Amino acid sequence: MIARPPGHPTRMAVTTRSGPGPETTPDTREFAVAVVGLGGRAVALHVAGELDLSTAPRLRAQIDRALQDGSDALVVDLSHVTFIDSVALAVLVAAHARLASCGRLAVVARTPFVQLVLEATGLDGILDVFSDRSAAKAFVRH
């Protein structure tokens, strides 16, 4: 486990919206998941901040909600994630397993830190990982 400096808060917020709209750069100190409909049964989950033991359950809940609502194509965009731990990785693996027979999951990893974690754990060979949002969206729509 990686220790955080004393007094290092993790702020949490969950936002949901549907439809296209301008993308903004979130405050990376605050954890957030923005859910955006991509048309049809495809959904993007834009994640920001620290994705760890305390925040991974919120991502899992948003994934569960999307699947319960009938989504079978998920893009989990980690472009604005500043930290990721094994609990969060387990959430991604579980989502991949749930969609393996009936849908698709794409993970967007654009930062060197998240890419390194996925590579070091071997998950870049298990999950469908993209450095480009457009490619990830195209992948889940096929």
Which residues of the chain fall short of a pLDDT of 70?
A: 1-29
Q: How high is the pLDDT of residue 70? A: 94
Q: How high is the pLDDT of residue 6? A: 41
55 vs 72, 75, 138, CA distance in Å?
23, 18, 28
Q: How high is the pLDDT of residue 142? A: 83
Listed residue (38, 113, 30, 121) closest to 79, CA to CA: 113
Distance CA 62, CA 109 (A): 19
CATH code given to domain 27-141: 3.30.750.24
Token pair 């930290």 is found at 83
Domain ranges for the chain:
27-141
Q: How high is the pLDDT of residue 29? A: 59
